[in-house]
Structure 1
Amino acid sequence: ADEDYEVDHFAKSNGIAPEQVRDLIRRHGNERATLEREAKRMQS
């Protein structure tokens, strides 16, 4: 998910900013399920 297009796609799909996605990757690693769970927390 380090590629820009993957980050942008994940950001759009999860309603968060690309920079927030990069921050999640730095904090939680690259596992999609973990990133999706954390992105949902950021939305609420």
Structure 2
Amino acid sequence: MDKRILVELTTEIVSAHASVNEMSREELLDEIQDVFRKLNALVGVEG
């Protein structure tokens, strides 16, 4: 899977979650990293 697709999926997931949950800047950054890492672990990224 292309890295750009993972970035898009991460953006959609985190945006949806953040739109209904109040989050600090640090929590938002942590969630972005966590979601991306987990998606990457599920599908793997080449390059």
| RCO higher in structure (CA 8 A, sep ≥6) | 2
TM-score, normalization by structure 1: 0.41
